[in-house]
Amino acid sequence: MSNPSLLILAGDGIGPEVMAQVQRIIGWYGDKRGLNFDVSEDLVGGAAYDAHGTPLHDDTMAKAQAVDAVLLGAVGGPKYDDLDFSVKPERGLLRLRKEMDLFANLRPAQCFDALSEFSSLKTELVSGLDIMIVRELTSGVYFGEPRGIFEEGNQRVGINTQRYTEAEIERGARAAFELAMKRDKRLCSMEKANVMESGILWREVVTEVSKDYPEVALSHMYADNGAMQLVRAPKQFDVIYTDNLFGDILSDCAAMLTGSLGMLPSASLGAPMENGRPKALYEPVHGSAPDITGQCKANPSACILSFAMALRYSFDQGAEADRLEAAVEKVLADGVRTADLMQANDGTPVSTTEMGDAILAAL
Amino acid sequence: MSNPSLLILAGDGIGPEVMAQVQRIIGWYGDKRGLNFDVSEDLVGGAAYDAHGTPLHDDTMAKAQAVDAVLLGAVGGPKYDDLDFSVKPERGLLRLRKEMDLFANLRPAQCFDALSEFSSLKTELVSGLDIMIVRELTSGVYFGEPRGIFEEGNQRVGINTQRYTEAEIERGARAAFELAMKRDKRLCSMEKANVMESGILWREVVTEVSKDYPEVALSHMYADNGAMQLVRAPKQFDVIYTDNLFGDILSDCAAMLTGSLGMLPSASLGAPMENGRPKALYEPVHGSAPDITGQCKANPSACILSFAMALRYSFDQGAEADRLEAAVEKVLADGVRTADLMQANDGTPVSTTEMGDAILAAL
Ligand SMILES: CC(C)[C@H](C(=O)O)[C@@H](O)C(=O)O
Ligand SMILES: CC(C)[C@H](C(=O)O)[C@@H](O)C(=O)O
């Protein structure tokens, strides 16, 4: 049997720096654990625009469709701020999500014991925090038509369309219920059913799906209250299921609660391919961080933990994923800190490479 | 000259309880400061539905259009959860906002010194916090057409439309810039211009309006990053301007940061009427709190401070508004606490009426 295949799209800003450390981890798994991957690399985002005038070349799209999993670094940067909407770095990422049909975006918001004092929240409110947000990723206002800026009378109108079919809501809900079954069996669905009809349909469909998961306790919350409750008492949640736009905001809010954005991975999963593996893209929650690009300061942990999610969700290597996650936790417990994990007067931070060294050593 | 007129719509849940205390405050201003108001009362929300089968009777709508300011308590409750969308309590509130054309929703997120330890955030991050969120309130996905649940092939589709005209973005922006001029002269506009064309138009129009306010430092932030930054370092903000839906979520998030939801007022303002006063509705940020309804436990402060906003924005009585706000702050400093302002083992809370007594005494 041939090796599983990985496409690395390191992208912009700190993307290539953190991805270099992931490459070392991948190498380690080949050398030490006999887990070999066929790794190819390509461009996405601003880097692709610079080379090809598009944030995602059709050839790259085809490669992404063909591999077992895509690992993405980050896209965007001030250099590309004035580009036309259609060729902005973000469009490359959105095209990958849409054409690979990655409908379930898994965003764990987890507070690492060694880092709980980094949260802006009081330590007792976040220590041990472990939420899984499942965000619908291929529909809603991100992709609905009509969209655009139109002339109307003597002025312009900006239009976007929130649009959800029952099938779209349902498949994401199933992914969320499946995760809840493996966790604490509690699912909170968030929308604005008091204001939006798409939210009413959302609530109905999720309620319907819940009949297939009688062990999971389902609750519903308006998204504005969801934002409040995340800030007030985040530990009340286990799995949260919400739409593309609410998910964008609420998952960032939840990520920041942990105080360790440089630590948080994500997985975007689609339907099973012929080989049974889901279509999948893994990426850190943090962005391209133009302010520290090229300084070898970035924390590679989020990107490395995204590879751990790949081991778990794409390659059925849960034990190896646990091993990698434990190595990262050990490094934190040992007090190894990149600059993002330090308070003002905390001593000298380690570099991106040194963090990679430490994680490899812990493995 | 006749007295200025107020319409009180106490609504549901704790609405009538907290509004009773506002009535006493209004009485005090008449007796002691010669500020007399012609006060009328009517129904909204579930209370209106129970009486008339609609969450806002046309007569009530007409009264609201005719008065100088509307004071609203709260709408909604579990009793009405299964009502049809078109007659839900919330529709009454949304109709008031839309037909009175209250486009600028002012939501201060302020942390009271005496209460800074109530925040789930570390005290130093929120003490002295004073943000003003200006939320566009009459357009966007709350009101855009088409909307509804439609049959498409063999399944249903939920659709809502985000729609903003230049004029709508502009008038809200002017309100926000005017407020920034009276405050710290910093305005942060939030949208998702990287994903939504309506966000691109938003950013363009706000940038254009900023030319008329050269003293105000304008910045732009994606709404997801906005949620993060609110949690990470809320004191970086002065005035935030954002759309109806982002504003709903971000203002609730900001409100919760202060830890004192029972303290936060809001104003919803429209265009000037013939007498020069803006169309206006004032309401607390908190909801109808069905869990404590009828127990005389609710904190009337948010509703009382909403009346203070009415004094300031509708009746040009800034000094009297300051007086009322100072009275509330004094009561807090004296340690008077309703149940929502207490930690587990803090002694006995005062009742809604006793809180009203204390504020009256401090006046
Ligand atoms: C970069 C951007 C298009 C993206 C989004 O809005 O989905 C990002 O914020 C995210 O959450 O992955
Ligand atoms: C009650 C509801 C319709 C309302 C809204 O969504 O605007 C509320 O959440 C608010 O923020 O005033």
Question: Has A192 been annotated as catalytic?
Answer: yes
pLDDT digits (tens, 9 = 90+) for A223-236: 999 999 999 999 99
Site to probe by mutation for ligand 2, drawn from B44, B248, B268 as the one with most ligand atoms within 8 Å of Cβ, is B248
Asked whether the beta carbons of B90 and B198 are under 8 A apart, the reply is: no
Superfamily of segment(s) A130-257: Isopropylmalate Dehydrogenase (3.40.718.10)
Interchain CB contact of A248 with B (< 8 Å): yes
The whole-number pLDDT of residue B344 equals 65
Percent of chain B whose pLDDT exceeds 70: 99
Nearest-CA residue for atom 3 of ligand 2: B90
The whole-number pLDDT of residue A344 equals 65
Assign A81 a pLDDT band (cuts: 50, 70, 90).
Answer: confident
- Tell whether A87 is in a known binding site: yes
Mean pLDDT of A197-213: 98
Nearest ligand 2 atom to alpha carbon B137: 7
CB contact under 8 A, B166 and A148: no
Asked whether the beta carbons of A240 and A132 are under 8 A apart, the reply is: yes
Interchain CB contact of A257 with B (< 8 Å): yes
pLDDT digits (tens, 9 = 90+) for B284-295: 999 999 999 999
Q: How far is A249 from chain B (nearest CA, A)?
A: 4
CB contact under 8 A, A228 and B141: no
Q: Please state, in angstroms and rounded to a whole number, the distance separating the CA atoms of residues B257 and B259.
A: 5
Say which of B200, B227, B253 has its CB closest to residue A158: B200
A1-109+263-363 and A130-257 share one CATH topology? yes
Closest CA to B338 of B316, B311, B359, B362: B359
Asked whether the beta carbons of A163 and A140 are under 8 A apart, the reply is: yes
Put simply, the chain A residues between 258 and 277 with a CB less than 8 A from any chain B CB are 261
Interchain CB contact of A161 with B (< 8 Å): yes
CB contact under 8 A, B192 and A245: yes
The whole-number pLDDT of residue A345 equals 63
Best residue in B253, B264, B286, B288 to probe A by mutation, most A CBs within 10 Å? B253
Global pTM reads: 0.97
CB contact under 8 A, A159 and B198: yes
Place of tokens 């933990």: A305
Closest CA to A210 of A236, A235, A241: A241
Angle at B248 between CA B89 and CA B97, to 5 degrees: 50
| pLDDT score of A88 more than 70 | yes
Asked if the A1-109+263-363 domain carries CATH number 3.40.718.10, the reply is yes
Mean pLDDT of B26-34: 97
| pLDDT score of B301 more than 90 | yes
CB contact under 8 A, A196 and B252: no
Q: Where are the domains of chain A?
A: 1-109+263-363, 130-257
Cα of B311 to ligand 2 centre, how many Å? 23
Q: A178 pairs with which residues across the strands?
A: none
Percent of chain B whose pLDDT exceeds 90: 94
Say which of A162, A166, A167 has its CB closest to residue B162: A162
Mean confidence (pLDDT) of chain A:
96
Q: Look at residue B67 and give its three-state secondary structure.
A: coil
Between B345 and A351, the more confident residue is A351
Percent of chain A whose pLDDT exceeds 70: 99
CB contact under 8 A, A90 and B194: yes
Interchain CB contact of A219 with B (< 8 Å): no
Asked whether the beta carbons of B240 and B161 are under 8 A apart, the reply is: no
Q: Checking DSSP bridges between strand A265-272 and strand A38-42, what pairing results, if any?
A: unpaired
| pLDDT score of B1 more than 80 | no
Asked whether the beta carbons of B279 and B68 are under 8 A apart, the reply is: no
The whole-number pLDDT of residue B81 equals 87
Mean confidence (pLDDT) of chain B:
96
Residues of A in contact with B250 (CB under 8 A): 227, 249
The whole-number pLDDT of residue B347 equals 78
- Tell whether A289 is in a known binding site: yes
Site to probe by mutation for ligand 2, drawn from B9, B70, B81, B94 as the one with most ligand atoms within 8 Å of Cβ, is B94
pLDDT digits (tens, 9 = 90+) for A319-347: 999 999 999 999 999 999 999 998 766 67
How many residues are present in chain A? 363
Cα of A269 to ligand 2 centre, how many Å? 33
Assign B38 a pLDDT band (cuts: 50, 70, 90).
Answer: very high
Mean pLDDT of A37-66: 98
Q: Which CATH number fits domain B1-112+260-363: 3.40.1440.60, 3.40.50.2300, 3.40.718.10, 3.40.50.1820?
A: 3.40.718.10
